[in-house]
A and B are shown apart, each in its own frame.
Chain A
Amino acid sequence: MSVLELDDVRLAVPHPSGDRTLLRGVSLSVAPGEALGLVGESGSGKSMTLRTVLRTEPRGAHVAGRVLLDGRDVRGLGPAELRRVRAESLAMISQDPRAALNPLLRVSRFLVEGLCDARGDDERTATRRARDLLAQVGIADVDRCMNSYPHQLSGGMLQRVVIAAAVAGSPRLLLADEPTTALDVTTQSEVMAILDEQRRERGMSMIFVTHDLELASAVCDRIAVMYAGEIVEISTPERLHAAPRHPYTRLLLDSRPSLTARAPVLPVIPGRPVAAYEVGGGCAFAGRCPWSEPGCTDGEIPLVRDGDRAVRCAREEELAGELAHATGTEATA
């Protein structure tokens, strides 16, 4: 059974000019021990999807659809049950580690308090476990880190402290929302390696939200590409790179400059990313898609599943061959 299953999750927030849709029917599943990447540009709904799992969506939001965590719908939980699920089954790592820590408490207090709370450890056991955890996330000087206040530590150190706290209880599912976006590239590599290693050792599932397709590909088993509040393609990283099935995925791969070769002109996606509430009928990407046809703007285009991949494109079969080749000038790169 899946650890997490989202079934046609829709979300709208109140706005002076009528409700604004942010999610237009997101369905996905995460298997035990699996890492799923949610990739998309800003406003595509990837963070909002995570928030429906944690039940931390904006105040007044209307949410429809089911969010099943180990078969139980978290949308229907009462306050006490919800607290327990959040404490035992879920852990969240956000972009800004400083938001997760109290600036007035030393790291030791933060970790030990959390462990006593969640596991019922006594203080001495919790302290020993906290020290072990810090060592596991690659902190060399554990004493110094334990005695530091958050402002005395760098962003990379703090994010490791947050990872230590998140994995401490071996929750079923880690929710990571751009955990390395604020970090330097060399620190990002380090923090991602630690997150990946800790997750695998403890057999945890993960949803990894990022705008960076390459980063997601490196640590995820499957990638879901989001656009305008819905999933447009799901695939393994290898197949996504070798033969993307949705035009948006193809163009997203091509428009990123390459580390190894310079393009005379970068292939671009015309226009700007549209918000979910701006989408009319048909395909949300049709307005920017070089392959769109009149039929693309009619009706609702379903996410068609085919084994472990899925794609939401009206012309999927016709375009399969063409999309497998880069649109850019350097198809071999």
Chain B
Amino acid sequence: MNDDVKGTDGGVIGRAGGGSRRTAGAGGSGGSGAKGPGGAGGSGGNVIEISGLCKRFVTGRGSGRRTVDALDDVSLTVADGSCLAVVGESGSGKSTLARILVGLEAADAGEVVLAGRPVARRPRRAERRARARDIQMVFQDPNGSLNRRRTAGSAISEVLAAHHRVTGAEARRRVEELLEQVGLRPAHARSLPGELSGGQRQRVAIARALAAEPRVLVLDEAVAALDVSVQAQVLNLLSEIRRDRRLTYLFITHDLSVVRQVSEEVVVMRQGRIVERGSTTQVLDDPQHPYTRLLRDSAPRPGWRPVRAIGRDAAEVEA
């Protein structure tokens, strides 16, 4: 409850639910008309519709038992073919949001509509598989998300077999195609993750996600661990793929420069709530919420100096 941004109490809550600056669709690239390959289509051109999402975690035992609202009444929509950036620091709930969206976590309350289909809170196996075809996730650390004893080719063909029953020579052809799309060579199909650089591993993770032919990619800090020169390559690649395949992105990041580069819309999260939302240009050029301003002012850039706020640490102590 220790609010380390001065004078925000109340203002946060008022804005979060109301979404007075919500401008869904504005500035988006081809938000309308682009119906996906599945033909399911999103209502009103939205591929993702989330309303009133809540998730509470319980930590500790006995007298140390505490609850944390990782998500507290979060609502958002993502237009077909657009990229929504979700910005926040640790504890903001941005990763929990992603995990619920792809089905790695179940929400306590709220609704998720994906490509026009409501997602059951405890889906059956077939529903889960259908969802995985619609939405795929790329994680921050390809070392953790790729099996280090499995070649790049076999990681990708596993997805092809699971979702599209593609095997044998056809699978090999598709693997080569996918590797080329992410800027790798067909020969990389035989490489183990340990034989690839960090950037190459992340490309394999992206190719594997694309193998399911999803409509939505959820990218959870997908470029955060990459070196600057490699990060630029992967960011360009992701823009290209989105344009060519008419994909929709939910791009989770802490980095406002990346937000500027990849997204049309942005939501800023803090302690489980959305504190500001709007078009990327609007929010970054003229942030309304003190926390968004603090985030922007904390980002190193030419001429920047670090600043020391007084008494901020109280909020950091975990009781």
Smallest CB-CB separation from B314: which chain A residue? A140
Smallest CB-CB separation from B237: which chain A residue? A268
Q: Residue-by-residue, is B302-319 near A (CB-CB < 8 Å gives 1, otherwise 0)?
A: 101111111111101110
A259 touching B308 in the complex, CB below 8 Å, given contacts A140-B313, A154-B316, A266-B232 = no
Q: Provide the residues of chain A in CB contact with B239, threshold 8 Å.
A: 265
A154 touching B230 in the complex, CB below 8 Å, given contacts A188-B298, A194-B308, A256-B257 = no
Minimal beta-carbon separation of A186 from chain B (angstroms): 5
Smallest CB-CB separation from A186: which chain B residue? B298
CB atoms of B198 and A268 under 8 A apart: no
Q: Provide the residues of chain A in CB contact with B199, threshold 8 Å.
A: 272
B296 CB–A CB distance under 8 Å: yes
Which of the residues A184, A261, A273 comes within 8 Å of B229, measured between beta carbons? A273
Stretch at the interface among A12-20, A210-218, A313-321: A210-218
Q: How far is the CA of A266 from the CA of B235 in the complex (A)?
A: 8
B233 CB–A CB distance under 8 Å: yes
Q: Provide the residues of chain B in CB contact with A160, threshold 8 Å.
A: 313
Q: Residue-by-residue, is A267-291 near B (CB-CB < 8 Å gives 1, otherwise 0)?
A: 1110011000000000000000000
B261 CB–A CB distance under 8 Å: yes
CB atoms of A41 and B260 under 8 A apart: no
A148 touching B317 in the complex, CB below 8 Å, given contacts A214-B302, A257-B235 = yes
A244 CB–B CB distance under 8 Å: no
Minimal beta-carbon separation of A128 from chain B (angstroms): 21
Q: How far is the CA of A217 from the CA of B304 in the complex (A)?
A: 8
Which of the residues B229, B260, B304, B314 comes within 8 Å of A255, measured between beta carbons? B229
CB atoms of A41 and B261 under 8 A apart: no
Minimal beta-carbon separation of A227 from chain B (angstroms): 10
B228 CB–A CB distance under 8 Å: yes
Q: How far is the CA of A214 from the CA of B301 in the complex (A)?
A: 5
CB atoms of B254 and A215 under 8 A apart: no
| Residues of chain B at interface, number, CB under 8 A | 47
Q: How far is the CA of A88 from the CA of B89 in the complex (A)?
A: 37
A263 CB–B CB distance under 8 Å: yes
CB atoms of A268 and B317 under 8 A apart: no
B59 CB–A CB distance under 8 Å: no
Q: Provide the residues of chain B in CB contact with A77, threshold 8 Å.
A: none
Minimal beta-carbon separation of A265 from chain B (angstroms): 6
Q: How far is the CA of A193 from the CA of B313 in the complex (A)?
A: 14
Q: How far is the CA of A261 from the CA of B256 in the complex (A)?
A: 11
| Residues of chain A at interface, number, CB under 8 A | 55
Q: Provide the residues of chain B in CB contact with A152, threshold 8 Å.
A: 317-318
Q: How far is the CA of A153 from the CA of B199 in the complex (A)?
A: 33
Q: Provide the residues of chain B in CB contact with A184, threshold 8 Å.
A: 89-90, 254
Q: Which of A238-275 contact B (CB under 8 A)?
A: 241, 251-252, 255-263, 265-269, 272-273
Q: How far is the CA of A191 from the CA of B236 in the complex (A)?
A: 32
Q: Residue-by-residue, is A172-185 near B (CB-CB < 8 Å gives 1, otherwise 0)?
A: 00000000000011
Minimal beta-carbon separation of B249 from chain A (angstroms): 15
CB atoms of A257 and B232 under 8 A apart: yes
Q: Residue-by-residue, is B144-160 near A (CB-CB < 8 Å gives 1, otherwise 0)?
A: 00000000000000000
Q: Residue-by-residue, is A116-155 near B (CB-CB < 8 Å gives 1, otherwise 0)?
A: 0000000000000000000000111100110010001110
Smallest CB-CB separation from B89: which chain A residue? A184
Q: Provide the residues of chain A in CB contact with B7, threshold 8 Å.
A: none
Minimal beta-carbon separation of A5 from chain B (angstroms): 28
A196 CB–B CB distance under 8 Å: yes
Q: Residue-by-residue, is A7-42 near B (CB-CB < 8 Å gives 1, otherwise 0)?
A: 000000000000000000000000000000000011
Q: Provide the residues of chain A in CB contact with B76, threshold 8 Å.
A: none
Q: Provide the residues of chain A in CB contact with B254, threshold 8 Å.
A: 184-185
Q: Provide the residues of chain B in CB contact with A139, threshold 8 Å.
A: 313
27 A-B Cβ contacts within 8 A? A41-B229, A41-B230, A42-B198, A138-B312, A140-B314, A145-B317, A154-B318, A157-B313, A160-B313, A186-B295, A187-B316, A188-B298, A189-B298, A190-B307, A192-B306, A193-B307, A196-B306, A218-B306, A251-B229, A255-B228, A256-B228, A259-B256, A259-B257, A265-B236, A266-B235, A266-B261, A272-B197
Q: Kindly list the 9 A-B residue pairs having the minimum CB-CB distance in the complex, ordered from nearest.
A: A214-B300, A192-B306, A255-B232, A184-B89, A257-B261, A193-B308, A41-B227, A193-B306, A154-B316
Interface residues, chain B, with chain A CB atoms under 8 Å away = 89-90, 197-200, 227-233, 235-236, 239, 254-258, 260-261, 284, 294-302, 304-314, 316-318
